[in-house]
Amino acid sequence: MKSAVIVFPGSNCDHDMLRALTLMGHRAEFVWHKTGNLSGYDLAALPGGFSYGDYLRAGAIARFSAIMKAVADFAAKGKPVLGVCNGFQVLTEAGLLPGALLRNQNLRFICRPVYLRAENLRTRFTQAIPPGTALKIPIAHGEGRFHIDPQGLKQLQDREQIVFRYANARGETDPGANPNGSLDHIAGIINREGNVLGMMPHPERAMEAILGSEDGRRIFESLVA
Amino acid sequence: MRVAVKVRLKRSILDPQGKTVQQALQHLGFEQIREVRIGKLIELEIEEGQNRAETLRMIEEASRKLLSNPVMEDFEIEYPGETP
């Protein structure tokens, strides 16, 4: 699988993403937002970071980068797009995913491992996750509180587009396990077509047991060409 | 000509920053201040001599496309002469 890690000015999880994909056997390459294109790639990954310094709103400026036109075309062809953290914020700003990510309810930047419950195991990003397991994956964000209007939420629920919810270690959602005040405990969603996934937690930081967890691998194992 | 665009979180959305500031004001003794909501003020310097209605439409478009995110924010344009 040949994978593109898109790099914006201010991306800072691009190397982690490249390493994670490489560990999983991808031929992964950086693609600079200005000059790059996505022809010949099987996956586009938008990494975490602070593209354009989070000016105006997180992801608001990156969304107008030249590469985002290519990402939209890539997604329209049904090819997989994975946005993590700032990558998720960029995808919502670009309208490739619904909703928005607001300032965490406690106003703090939260950097710690959380547990996720995978809600839909039939997506191409989750099919290798064993049913009934809680994934331990770190978050690191200041703006991760997912928001959408009631109608949009109902659509996400009805179409099983909510892919990950914040949960406790037993995989149960409870208010104490929702780190940022996200609506309906939402940590990650997928588009209607099932090929664009955005998530606030960082699976690329949970690839090696020595670093605390390798549960992130389940997501990358799911992604097969 | 200077035009101001005020961008606010939608009323239905919790503004934890505003709430924290309101609590701080309470501690300082400003007990009458019941609610604080924090938004952004964006000032635009615009070339004079253009068609007014067209300029307003242009600012609206810019506000919708970039300056605000309609999923979470509302905006209001303060155009000289239109608002007190």
Identify the band that residue B50 occupies on the pLDDT scale cut at 50, 70 and 90.
low
The partner residues of A113 in beta bridges, in order of sequence, read: A138
- pLDDT, residue A225, reads 57
Tell me the pLDDT tens digit for each residue of A25-68: 999 999 999 987 899 999 999 999 999 999 999 999 999 999 99
Task: Confirm if A139 and A201 have CB atoms less than 8 A apart.
Answer: yes
pLDDT tens per residue, range A93-141: 999 999 999 999 999 999 999 999 999 999 999 999 999 899 999 999 9
Q: Which tokens sit at A150?
A: 């009631």
Whether domain A2-222 has CATH 3.40.50.880: yes
Q: Which residue of B has its CA nearest to A151?
A: B71
From chain B, the residues in CB contact with A92 under 8 A are 71
Share of chain B above pLDDT 70, in %: 94
Contact predicate A50/A81, CB 8 Å: no
Q: Do B13 and A102 touch (CB under 8 A)?
A: yes
What amino acid occupies position A17? Answer: M
Helices and strands (DSSP H and E) totals, chain B: 2, 3
Amino acid at B21: V
> Distance from first CA to last CA of chain A, Å, rounded?
6
Q: How many CB atoms lie within 10 A of CB B41?
A: 9
Taking alpha carbons only, the member of A185, A131, A197 closest to residue A161 is A197
What are the sequence ranges of the domains in chain A? 2-222
Mean pLDDT of chain B: 91
Please choose, from the candidates A119, A124, A123, the residue with its C-alpha nearest in 3D space to the C-alpha of residue A187. Answer: A119
ipTM > 0.90, yes or no:
no
For residues A71 and A96, is the Cβ–Cβ distance under 8 A?
yes
* Active-site residue, A143 included: no
Establish whether A202 is a catalytic residue: yes
Interface check A155 vs B, CB under 8 A:
no
A110 touches chain B (CB under 8 A): no
Using the beta-carbon criterion (under 8 Å), do A107 and B66 form an inter-chain contact? Answer: no
Residues 6+ apart with CB under 8 A from B65: none
A85: annotated active-site residue: yes
Instruction: Tell me how close the Cα of A46 comes to any Cα of chain B, in angstroms.
Output: 20
Per-residue pLDDT at B83 exceeds 70 = no
Question: Would you state the torsion angle of the CA atoms of residues A76, A81, A87, A88, taken in this order, to the nearest 10 degrees?
Answer: 80
The Cα of B49 is separated from the nearest Cα of chain A by a number of Å equal to 29
- Please give the Cα distance from A160 to A149 (Å, whole number): 16
> A93 and B13: CB-CB below 8 Å?
no
List, for residues A195-218, the tens digit of each pLDDT value: 999 999 999 999 999 999 999 999
Task: Give A123 or B1, the one with higher predicted confidence.
Answer: A123
Structural domains of chain B, ranges and CATH numbers in brackets: 2-78 (3.30.1280.10)
Whether residue A86 contacts residue A52, with contact meaning beta carbons closer than 8 Å, is answered with no
Q: List pLDDT tens digits, range A137-174.
A: 999 999 999 999 999 999 999 999 999 999 999 999 98
Closest residue of chain A to B39, computed from CA coordinates: A56
Map tokens 């608001």 to a residue. A60
pLDDT at B84 over 70: no
